[in-house]
């Protein structure tokens, strides 16, 4: 029996949020303002400013995910062993250094070094930050936290994208260098929080006694990733994560901008405004969506996301039919905006499912597995997009994305049959809860 859905005001969420978690949220806008400065322009920077062939750019942008695949497993185990905060401190400092290297990249070997460093620290970042969040935020607040975090993140990215689009000029490489250096400086804010207000937080959970473990949970004291893969509840979530990463975030920073430039003739300024529109949709609608998805099945919300992304990719394909025109720019803006609507259903749900399923003492490993499938998809996605777009197969690229949307919806429905209702976001009424404990 499902409890009635109620809309909890956001003021209550902030009031109930532990103080360390508030500090975590406090730096998001500044940090991701820097990310927004450079996010839409990685392909443009390497291809049009540094002169690398588009096919080579696709390979270079796949390197971070390849490196991430190597480091994410040991990183997740390290988080469980020493705690999320110490690992996160090293990661943030490393990301700062990486952006300085990006700013000075002028040759292929330098680009390889930059992308390897990016993969090293980004590969560690995702499972570490999600594990840290889950250690600070109670289960009942996690879905909202991930949603609010995503709103603030996109506010920073959106403002950064607009500023970056106004400032960069492919004929003045120094403008790109300046943006990467500013992005590096923004990492000083989260580093200060980790070394200051959160210095006493470890993010490490003790291993529970055998008689305290929930039936069906992973209980191994030194659990390997093979142990986790024997959890049938986790497998469909991982498969869903792979597909959504491939058609979504694996394309957003590489394939979609490459398509926009090569097939649709979109200017760098229009790219910046399209990403700003994406962000505006998220900032305006994410909190509204959060109010309406409380207590609803997360797998059904992911089906909605797949349908919305399908509409977005149709707009993307249509923009290539009128290349270099205002209509193309408007259609690409529509693509980015509708994609943002789908993100408001995705971001609060899948991370919350992983962390609600994970035992506290194995949270680093569960988040590492989730990160791993995203990294694998991010290896395949840029390379695939680079090949298709670079060889004039724009139509095939769009069809591939649409097929991926159908696959994502099917995997979401499969996951619904495997995961417990509580992990799927379904609240139980007090009477039902009592019946299950008798």
H or E segment and range at residue 371: helix 363-390
Amino acid 268: pLDDT: 79
Residue 11 — very low, low, confident or very high, per pLDDT cuts 50/70/90?
low
Residue 405 clears pLDDT 50, i.e. is over it:
yes
Q: Can you tell me the distance from the alpha carbon of 167 to that of 176, in angstroms, rounded to the nearest whole number? A: 8
Q: Per-residue pLDDT averaged across 261-288, rounded?
A: 85
Residue 6 — very low, low, confident or very high, per pLDDT cuts 50/70/90?
low
Residue 161 clears pLDDT 70, i.e. is over it:
yes
Prediction pTM value? 0.78
Burial class (CB in 10 A: 0-12, 13-18, 19+), 103: buried
Residue 187 clears pLDDT 90, i.e. is over it:
yes
Amino acid 250: pLDDT: 82
Place of tokens 């999320």: 84
Q: What angle do CA 397, 372, 112 make, to 5 degrees?
A: 70
Full set of structural domains in the chain with CATH? 20-200+225-437 (1.20.1250.20)
Q: Can you tell me the distance from the alpha carbon of 411 to that of 407, in angstroms, rounded to the nearest whole number? A: 6
Place of tokens 């996301």: 305
Over residues 333-380, the pLDDT tens digits come to 999 999 999 999 998 899 889 988 888 888 889 999 988 888 788 778
Hey, what are 396's tokens? 């095939």
* Integer angstrom CA distances of residue 84 from 124, 125, 359: 10, 10, 15
Residue 203 — very low, low, confident or very high, per pLDDT cuts 50/70/90?
low
Over residues 51-108, the pLDDT tens digits come to 888 888 878 887 887 888 899 889 988 998 888 899 999 999 999 999 999 998 989 9
Comparison of pLDDT for 208 and 213, the residue scoring more: 208
3-state secondary structure of 428: strand
Amino acid 97: pLDDT: 94
């Amino acid at each position: 029996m499902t409890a009635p859905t109620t809309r909890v005001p956001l003021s209550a969420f902030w009031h109930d949020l532990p103080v360390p978690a508030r500090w975590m949220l406090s730096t998001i806008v500044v940090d991701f303002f820097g990310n927004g400065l450079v996010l839409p322009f990685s392909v443009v920077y390497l291809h049009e400013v540094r002169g690398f062939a588009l096919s080579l750019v696709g390979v270079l942008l796949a390197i971070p995910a390849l490196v991430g695949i190597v480091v994410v497993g040991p990183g997740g185990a390290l988080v469980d062993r020493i705690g999320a905060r110490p690992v996160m401190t090293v990661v943030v400092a490393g990301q700062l250094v990486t952006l300085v290297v990006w700013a000075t990249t002028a040759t292929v070997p330098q680009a390889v070094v930059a992308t390897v460093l990016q993969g090293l620290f980004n590969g560690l970042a995702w499972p570490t930050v999600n594990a840290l969040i889950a250690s600070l935020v109670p289960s009942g607040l996690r879905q909202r936290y991930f949603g609010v975090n995503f709103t603030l993140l996109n506010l920073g990215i959106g403002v950064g994208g607009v500023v970056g689009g106004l400032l960069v000029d492919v004929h003045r490489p120094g403008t790109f260098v300046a943006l990467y250096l500013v992005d590096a400086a923004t990492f000083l804010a989260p580093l200060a929080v980790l070394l200051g207000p959160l210095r006493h937080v470890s993010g490490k959970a003790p291993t529970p006694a055998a008689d305290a473990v929930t039936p069906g949970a992973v209980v191994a004291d030194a659990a390997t990733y093979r142990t986790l893969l024997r959890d049938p509840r986790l497998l469909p979530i991982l498969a869903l994560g792979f597909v959504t990463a491939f058609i979504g975030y694996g394309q957003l920073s590489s394939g979609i901008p490459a398509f926009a430039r090569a097939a649709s003739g979109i200017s760098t300024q229009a790219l910046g405004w399209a990403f700003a529109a994406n962000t505006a949709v998220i900032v305006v609608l994410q909190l509204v969506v959060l109010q309406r998805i409380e207590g609803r099945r997360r797998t059904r919300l992911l089906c909605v996301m797949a349908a919305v992304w399908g509409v977005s990719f149709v707009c993307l394909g249509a923009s290539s039919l009128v290349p270099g025109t205002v209509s193309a720019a408007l259609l690409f803006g529509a693509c980015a905006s509708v994609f943002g609507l789908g993100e408001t259903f995705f971001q609060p749900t899948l991370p919350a499912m992983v962390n609600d399923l994970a035992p506290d003492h194995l949270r680093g490993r569960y988040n590492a597995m989730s990160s791993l499938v995203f990294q694998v998809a991010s290896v395949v996605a840029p390379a695939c997009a680079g090949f298709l777009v670079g060889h004039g197969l724009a139509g095939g690229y769009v069809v591939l994305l649409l097929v991926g949307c159908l696959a994502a919806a099917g995997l979401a429905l499969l996951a619904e049959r495997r995961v417990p209702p509580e992990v799927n976001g379904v609240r139980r009424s007090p009477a039902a809860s009592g019946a299950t404990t008798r």
